């Protein structure tokens, strides 16, 4: 996989993950083009399209589009299920995940993605194992958070 | 709780309602691509806008889920969504605040640092540029608090900066974490390497990670990260990742008990196998036995690795993918086992589904398609191939669009196998039907591809006819490719050439705008080369031209063919010479200059073919609109042809205007064009694929390629034809030949990446055309160039400064939106000698990246490899435009969209003397307009960039501020990329 983008129906980018080195300018250009292309497609159309020399696999979940760019020899259907598994992971972690969860807890969305996919390839496909890793990390931070927990409330105000 | 409420309020007010809607997993019965509109969601998922709220905000205030402070700012940010300016203002204020915190005297504690770094990330992810905070993020890496470290790593992963100073610090922190033996920290560090994957990181860690990967005491999760981390480093820097002694232990990870480890490791092994198949070939039998175990397992055996009743679909696909790196196993037992697996997979496709969910069928079919790919790859089991074809045939009529799409795609490859070609052909009616009825253009595109692939002599007429009739209503986006395909099939499978001529003329009639030059050149080449079709062609074009509105391409073909073979139909009084001439001439005034030029040539040919038309034609040539035409080319032709027809004797005329000799036979230039269209469409795409690029680098390897393969010398077929068309004084052959040449270049493999592209000399040539581009102890490269409109000619002089011969000397130019014709350079450059190379250049479209010139040669036994930016910039194709003050300001105002303007304010680097500036601006190629700007100190210029695709008008204003030693440069043009590029180029010049 070369990159993964999450964007809203309004075209707002919510998460971006690049597995190939590209300049910021190029990333912006790709994002702009792809968001436009995908948003212009009708609901019943197929989830795959050719774009430049890549294959785009996308799927919409409520207000969010999940969009992956894969290479010629990669498998479209399994990529579609990569997207689904990622949504399942987010859903399980946040409990009925919605777009807002991903906006505010973007760091968690990234951490979960890193546990699931690394370097553009599936690292761990077991839902249990991925969530275990994230929960362990959360545990680490719970233990450490006591000393500044009070500050957080102040900052929110 | 009192604290929380106002925040909730902010959030509530400012987010669009859809952000609260859960992503719909709970409502698992809803079909996957059922994408409800908002009100529908409410009832479907049982969440109202308000009911969803507690869920969506629940994490915001738990002590650690959300970096504090984020809520307020994001509330603001998103609220400002209505007005972009307000959002930017708010963000800038926030950025200024963070900047002052970072710069402040008071040292920040880890918590605040984390908070602000996290805010920066958030702002970046909203789409704003972030140019600071890297140092603070790096500091977080060495924190011993997990969350701080984690945010630090995330920032680095998302916003890497190639600042070498920082990379050293980052690498240091990573090194410490890798050595910490704390698996959580180790994984964080490995994730960071995998996310950044820079060469510096490869240098630092490529040696260490294989050891972590195979060590017995490494935790499974760390192994998984290590495997994929190594994969990423291998993709960036294959030369640095050496498996060597670890190879066999890495291969044996396929046997690991932990499925996750196998899943991760197999991606690495597949990639390594592609590059070094021999070293890794033991993986084949391991992969087969692993696959066999998965395929034969019950759906519950693999516990959490079973996905919707399908055992380990990701791993199965990857195993099948790995096997595609190798030929069929030689060992009979292994092969038998594998064939059994493939049969089981095909059988399972026929079983009733274990679940109605689309995830189940997707996962199952993903494996099936991968298995079919393997069967096609082996191309040796007729039985499996035919079964695969039948399976895909079923999918062709499946109700899932995705499956129909994939079946069409997969069948395309099956069509090329001799075993299954016939089986594929039986589905022709279904495919034709898909072409006509599919509602999604991407599916129709696949159907067209498949028709193209399954076409042979037996069904060519049917397929071509279907494609032609589809063209009448086809989507604009695929017309050009369809036209090329029809043209190729018609030529390839033509039994009688009159059918071919009919088909191409039909193409021009139906989709004239999409018929590229290659297509109509080709029909002319074929007609000229085959005398049995010439009479028919003349008759057919004559008839086609009688349509009241016919496409200009038809006029071109008609003009050319009647000019050559009009005599073959002149016997019929309905197409007597004068009738032919009048027909052609009736189209003349509606045509563009190149077509008119072609018609003028046809007229002079008529004078030779039919002496009785001489008087009429001379009269036409003599009239003011020809002989005094404002277009130099047309005027010249009219004058010369008139003179030629008046003074030359019949014999001379007959010799000069003799029928065109047959063209040398060669591969169709249309084929080249199609290949090019299929290839990377834009310059930048090659950047996307680092892996392929590396391969290209090897292909270009030292001295393996002779000079013939790197430089094009064959005259293009179209060059001959072009003699008749408007032939500009420079590089006349460049126009039509462009695409053919481009293709030859691209087949030679992408050029090695700019391994230290040298662009010192480049900027010095923006405002001048001649000079020394490059010089070192061995070689001097001088340049002389001249440009006219969108064409140019560049002379490169390679001087050998040594007394020793350079051997295997080659020079290649990467092609972007410019086409080149180069003559091959002599592979030997004697000591002290100078070698000259001429590049004929045509600018096809505006471009930003300069073409790269790659020079390789051997000096003493050492290979020298040099890549330079060729000093070819968009401004070379400027045509100056003089205009008055009123005109200028009117146009300036017309170009007032924000994207049409590019502006830079910069410090003067060179003399600000008025005369010096004038000279530079003149060198730029635009017209320097006097008395236009009310302030006499300012400069304004105007010019038109000439490209083949379009002309781009540009206006420039340069405002020097002598006191401040600054300039403000503003460019406006009708194309944003042009304004931007010119502004960037020029800012370096003053």
Question: Is pLDDT larger for residue B577 or for residue A157?
Answer: B577
- The alpha-carbon gap from B93 to the nearest alpha carbon of chain A, in Å, equals 17
DSSP secondary structure code for residue B221 in this structure? H
The residue-averaged pLDDT of B425-446 equals: 90
- Asked whether the beta carbons of residue B59 and residue A125 sit closer than 8 angstroms, the reply is no
Rounded Cα gap, residues B303 and B297, in angstroms: 11
DSSP secondary structure code for residue B941 in this structure? E
Rounded Cα gap, residues B942 and B24, in angstroms: 57
- Asked whether the beta carbons of residue A121 and residue B21 sit closer than 8 angstroms, the reply is no
Q: Which residues of B touch A95 (CB under 8 A)?
A: 55, 58
- Asked whether the beta carbons of residue A119 and residue B145 sit closer than 8 angstroms, the reply is no
- Asked whether the beta carbons of residue A77 and residue B33 sit closer than 8 angstroms, the reply is no
Read off φ and ψ for residue A5, nearest 5 degrees: -130, 140
Which of B570, B566, B603, B573 has the alpha carbon at shortest distance from B588? Answer: B603
- Asked whether the beta carbons of residue B64 and residue A145 sit closer than 8 angstroms, the reply is yes
| pLDDT at position B739 | 32
- Does residue A38 carry a pLDDT above 90? yes
Q: Does ipTM top 0.90?
A: yes
Tell me whether A118 touches chain B (CB under 8 Å). Answer: yes
- Asked whether the beta carbons of residue A77 and residue B146 sit closer than 8 angstroms, the reply is no
- Does residue B426 carry a pLDDT above 50? yes
Residue of A nearest to B692 (CA): A71
- Asked whether the beta carbons of residue B55 and residue A96 sit closer than 8 angstroms, the reply is yes
- B960 is written with which tokens? 């020097």
The gap from C-alpha B297 to its chain's centroid, in whole angstroms, comes to 43
A residues 20-39 near B, CB within 8 Å?
A: 20-24, 26, 29
- B847 is written with which tokens? 């471009």
- Asked whether the beta carbons of residue B33 and residue A99 sit closer than 8 angstroms, the reply is no
Reported as a single tens digit per residue, the pLDDT across A88-134 is: 999 999 988 888 888 888 889 999 999 999 999 999 999 999 999 88
Top residue of A34, A95, A108, A121 to mutate, by most chain B CBs within 10 Å, is A121
- The alpha-carbon gap from A121 to the nearest alpha carbon of chain B, in Å, equals 7
Q: Which residues of A touch B345 (CB under 8 A)?
A: none
Rounded Cα gap, residues B591 and B560, in angstroms: 14
A residues 119-138 near B, CB within 8 Å?
A: 119-129, 133, 136-138
Q: Which residues of A touch B680 (CB under 8 A)?
A: 52-53
Q: Considering the entire predicted model, what is its pTM?
A: 0.65
The minimal CB distance from A104 to the residues B74, B401, B404 is found for B74
Q: Which residues of B touch A71 (CB under 8 A)?
A: 689
- The alpha-carbon gap from B236 to the nearest alpha carbon of chain A, in Å, equals 9
* Helices B382-395 & B358-378 angle (0-180, nearest 10): 150
Could you tell me if A127 and B259 are in contact, meaning their C-beta atoms sit under 8 angstroms apart?
no
- The alpha-carbon gap from B848 to the nearest alpha carbon of chain A, in Å, equals 13
Question: Cα Rg for chain B, rounded, in angstroms?
Answer: 34
Q: Please report which residue ranges of B512-631 form alpha helices under DSSP H.
A: 517-529, 534-545, 552-565, 577-588, 593-609, 614-622, 624-627
Q: Which residues of B touch A126 (CB under 8 A)?
A: 259-260, 303-305
> Checking phi first, is residue B500 left (phi over 0); if not, alpha (psi -120 to 50) or beta?
alpha
Q: Which residues of B touch A26 (CB under 8 A)?
A: 684, 687
Q: Which residues of B touch A156 (CB under 8 A)?
A: 3-4, 7, 61, 68-69, 71-72
pLDDT category of residue B925 using cuts at 50, 70 and 90: confident
- Does residue B427 carry a pLDDT above 60? yes
| pLDDT at position B821 | 63
Q: How many CA atoms lie within 13 A of B568 on its CB side?
A: 18
The residue-averaged pLDDT of B572-581 equals: 90
Inter-chain Cβ pairs, chain A and chain B, closer than 8 A: 301
The residue-averaged pLDDT of B423-439 equals: 91
- Does residue B283 carry a pLDDT above 90? yes
Q: Which residues of A touch B147 (CB under 8 A)?
A: 140-141, 144-145
Binding-site residues of B: 101, 111, 115-119
Q: Which residues of B touch A120 (CB under 8 A)?
A: 232
B residues 445-504 near A, CB within 8 Å?
A: 445
- Asked whether the beta carbons of residue B687 and residue A90 sit closer than 8 angstroms, the reply is no
- Asked whether the beta carbons of residue B264 and residue A49 sit closer than 8 angstroms, the reply is no
Q: Which residues of A touch B10 (CB under 8 A)?
A: none
The residue-averaged pLDDT of B340-349 equals: 94
Residue of A nearest to B233 (CA): A119
Q: Mean pLDDT across chain B, nearest whole number?
A: 79
The minimal CB distance from A78 to the residues B23, B303, B366 is found for B366
Q: Which residues of A touch B395 (CB under 8 A)?
A: none
Tell me whether B649 touches chain A (CB under 8 Å). Answer: no
| pLDDT at position B301 | 77
B611 Cβ contact list (under 8 Å, min separation 6)? B650
Could you tell me if B287 and B319 are in contact, meaning their C-beta atoms sit under 8 angstroms apart?
yes
DSSP secondary structure code for residue B829 in this structure? B
Q: Please report which residue ranges of B281-400 form alpha helices under DSSP H.
A: 283-295, 313-323, 332-350, 358-378, 382-395
pLDDT category of residue B15 using cuts at 50, 70 and 90: low
Tell me whether A51 touches chain B (CB under 8 Å). Answer: no
Q: Which residues of B touch A130 (CB under 8 A)?
A: none
pLDDT category of residue B285 using cuts at 50, 70 and 90: very high
- B151 is written with which tokens? 């945010």
- The alpha-carbon gap from A3 to the nearest alpha carbon of chain B, in Å, equals 10
- Asked whether the beta carbons of residue A114 and residue B195 sit closer than 8 angstroms, the reply is yes
Tell me whether B122 touches chain A (CB under 8 Å). Answer: yes
The minimal CB distance from B59 to the residues A24, A105, A144 is found for A105
- Asked whether the beta carbons of residue B264 and residue A118 sit closer than 8 angstroms, the reply is yes
Reported as a single tens digit per residue, the pLDDT across B479-527 is: 888 888 998 898 888 888 889 999 998 888 888 888 888 888 888 888 8
Top residue of A62, A116, A154 to mutate, by most chain B CBs within 10 Å, is A62
Could you tell me if B443 and B401 are in contact, meaning their C-beta atoms sit under 8 angstroms apart?
yes
The residue-averaged pLDDT of A18-22 equals: 89
Rounded Cα gap, residues B21 and B627, in angstroms: 73
- The alpha-carbon gap from B318 to the nearest alpha carbon of chain A, in Å, equals 9
B162 Cβ contact list (under 8 Å, min separation 6)? B198
The minimal CB distance from B369 to the residues A64, A77, A101 is found for A77
pLDDT category of residue A142 using cuts at 50, 70 and 90: low
Reported as a single tens digit per residue, the pLDDT across B124-163 is: 887 788 888 888 888 898 888 888 899 999 998 888 755 6
Rounded Cα gap, residues B196 and B292, in angstroms: 36
């Amino acid at each position: 996989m070369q990159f993964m983008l999450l964007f809203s129906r309004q075209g707002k980018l919510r998460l971006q993950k690049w597995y190939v080195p590209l300049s910021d300018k190029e990333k912006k250009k790709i994002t702009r083009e792809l968001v436009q292309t995908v948003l212009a497609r009708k609901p019943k159309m197929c989830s795959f399209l050719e774009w430049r020399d890549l294959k785009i696999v996308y799927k919409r979940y409520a207000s969010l589009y999940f969009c992956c760019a894969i290479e010629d020899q990669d498998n479209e259907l399994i990529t579609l299920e990569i997207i689904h598994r990622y949504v399942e992971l987010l859903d399980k972690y946040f409990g009925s995940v919605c777009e807002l969860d991903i906006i505010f807890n973007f760091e968690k969305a990234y951490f979960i993605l890193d546990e699931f996919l690394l370097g553009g390839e599936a690292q761990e496909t077991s839902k249990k194992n991925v969530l275990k890793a994230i929960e362990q990390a959360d545990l680490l931070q719970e233990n450490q958070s006591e000393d500044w927990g009070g500050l957080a409330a102040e900052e929110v105000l | 709780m009192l604290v929380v409420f106002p925040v909730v309020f902010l959030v509530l007010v400012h987010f669009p309602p859809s952000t609260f809607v859960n992503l719909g997993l709970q409502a698992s019965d809803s079909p996957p691509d059922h994408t409800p509109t908002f009100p529908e969601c409410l009832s479907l998922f049982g969440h109202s806008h308000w009911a969803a709220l507690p869920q969506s905000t629940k994490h915001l205030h738990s002590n650690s889920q959300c970096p504090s402070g984020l809520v307020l700012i994001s509330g603001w940010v998103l609220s400002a969504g209505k007005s972009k300016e307000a959002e930017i203002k708010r963000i800038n204020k926030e950025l200024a605040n963070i900047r002052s915190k970072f710069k402040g005297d008071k040292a920040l504690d880890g918590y605040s640092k984390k908070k602000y770094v996290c805010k920066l990330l958030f702002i970046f992810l909203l789409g704003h540029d972030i140019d600071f905070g890297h140092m603070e993020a790096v500091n977080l890496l060495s924190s011993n608090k997990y969350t701080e470290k984690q945010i630090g790593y995330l920032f680095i992963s998302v916003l890497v900066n190639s600042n070498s100073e920082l990379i050293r610090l980052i690498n240091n922190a990573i090194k410490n974490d890798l050595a910490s033996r704390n698996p959580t920290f180790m994984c964080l560090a490995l994730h960071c390497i995998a996310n950044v994957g820079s060469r510096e990181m490869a240098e630092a860690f490529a040696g260490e990670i294989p050891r972590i990967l195979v060590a017995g005491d490494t935790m499974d999760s760390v192994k998984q990260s290590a495997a994929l981390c190594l994969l990423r480093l291998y993709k960036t820097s294959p030369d640095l990742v050496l498996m060597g002694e670890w190879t066999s232990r890495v291969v044996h990870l396929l046997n690991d008990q932990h499925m996750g480890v196998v899943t991760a490791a197999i991606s690495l092994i597949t990639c390594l196998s592609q590059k070094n198949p021999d070293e890794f070939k033991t993986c084949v039998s391991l992969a087969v036995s692993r696959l066999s175990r998965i395929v034969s397992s019950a759906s519950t055996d693999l516990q959490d690795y079973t996905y919707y009743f399908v055992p380990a679909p990701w791993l199965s696909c990857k195993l099948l993918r790995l096997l595609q790196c190798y030929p069929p196993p030689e060992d009979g037992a292994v092969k038998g086992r594998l064939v059994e697996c493939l049969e089981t997979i095909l059988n399972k496709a026929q079983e009733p589904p274990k679940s109605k969910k689309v995830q189940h069928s997707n996962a199952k079919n993903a494996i099936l398609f991968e298995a079919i790919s393997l069967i096609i790859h082996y191309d040796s089991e007729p039985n499996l191939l035919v079964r695969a074809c039948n399976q895909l045939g079923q999918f062709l009529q499946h109700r899932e669009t995705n499956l129909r799409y994939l079946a069409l795609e997969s069948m395309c490859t099956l069509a090329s196998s001799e075993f299954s070609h016939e089986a594929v052909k039986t589905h022709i009616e279904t495919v034709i039907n898909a072409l006509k009825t599919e509602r999604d253009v991407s599916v129709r595109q696949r159907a067209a591809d498949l028709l193209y692939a399954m076409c042979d002599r037996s069904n060519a007429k049917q397929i071509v006819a279907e494609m032609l009739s589809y063209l009448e209503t086809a989507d604009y986006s695929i017309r050009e490719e369809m036209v090329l395909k029809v043209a190729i099939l018609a030529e390839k499978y033509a039994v009688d050439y009159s059918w071919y001529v009919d088909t191409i003329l039909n193409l021009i009639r139906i989709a004239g705008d999409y018929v590229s030059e290659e297509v109509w050149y080709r029909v002319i080449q074929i007609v000229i080369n085959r005398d049995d079709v010439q009479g028919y062609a003349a008759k057919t074009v004559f008839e086609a031209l009688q349509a009241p509105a016919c496409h200009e391409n038809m006029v071109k073909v008609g003009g050319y063919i009647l000019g050559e073979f009009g005599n073959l139909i002149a016997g019929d009084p309905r197409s007597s010479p004068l009738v032919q001439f009048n027909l052609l001439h009736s189209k003349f005034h509606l045509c563009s200059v190149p077509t008119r030029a072609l018609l003028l040539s046809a007229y002079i040919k008529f004078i030779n073919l039919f002496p009785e038309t001489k008087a009429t034609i001379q009269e036409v040539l003599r009239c003011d609109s020809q002989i005094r035409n404002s277009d130099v080319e047309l005027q010249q032709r009219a004058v010369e042809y008139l003179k030629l027809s008046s003074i030359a004797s019949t014999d001379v005329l007959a010799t000069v205007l003799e029928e065109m000799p047959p063209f040398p036979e060669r591969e169709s230039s249309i084929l080249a064009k199609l290949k090019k269209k299929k290839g990377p469409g834009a310059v930048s795409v090659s950047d996307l694929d680092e892996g392929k690029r590396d391969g290209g680098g090897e292909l270009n390897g030292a001295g393996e390629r002779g000079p013939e393969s790197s430089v094009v010398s064959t005259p293009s077929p179209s060059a001959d034809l072009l003699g008749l068309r408007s032939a500009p004084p420079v590089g006349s052959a460049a126009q039509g030949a462009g695409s053919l040449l481009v293709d030859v270049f691209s087949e030679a493999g992408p050029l090695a990446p700019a391994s230290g592209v040298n662009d010192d000399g480049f900027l010095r040539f923006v405002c001048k055309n001649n000079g020394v581009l490059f010089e070192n102890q061995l070689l001097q490269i001088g340049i002389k160039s001249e440009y006219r409109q969108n064409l140019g000619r560049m002379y490169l002089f390679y001087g050998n400064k040594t007394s020793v011969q350079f051997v295997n000397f080659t020079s290649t130019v990467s092609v972007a939106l410019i086409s080149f014709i180069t003559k091959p350079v002599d592979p030997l450059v004697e000591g002290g000698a100078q070698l000259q190379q001429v590049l004929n250049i045509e600018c096809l479209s505006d471009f930003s990246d300069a073409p790269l010139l790659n020079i390789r040669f051997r000096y003493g036994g050492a290979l020298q490899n040099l890549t330079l930016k060729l000093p070819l910039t968009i401004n070379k194709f400027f045509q100056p435009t003089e205009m008055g003050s009123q005109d200028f300001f009117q146009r300036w105002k017309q170009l007032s969209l924000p994207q049409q303007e590019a502006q830079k304010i910069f410090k003067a680097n060179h003399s600000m003397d008025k005369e010096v500036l004038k000279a530079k601006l003149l060198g730029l190629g635009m017209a320097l307009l006097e008395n236009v700007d009310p302030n006499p100190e300012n400069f304004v210029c105007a010019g038109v960039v000439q490209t083949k695709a379009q002309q781009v008008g540009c206006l420039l204003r340069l405002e020097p501020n002598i006191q401040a030693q600054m300039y403000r440069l503003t460019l406006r043009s009708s194309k944003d990329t042009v304004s931007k590029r010119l502004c960037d180029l020029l800012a370096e010049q003053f």
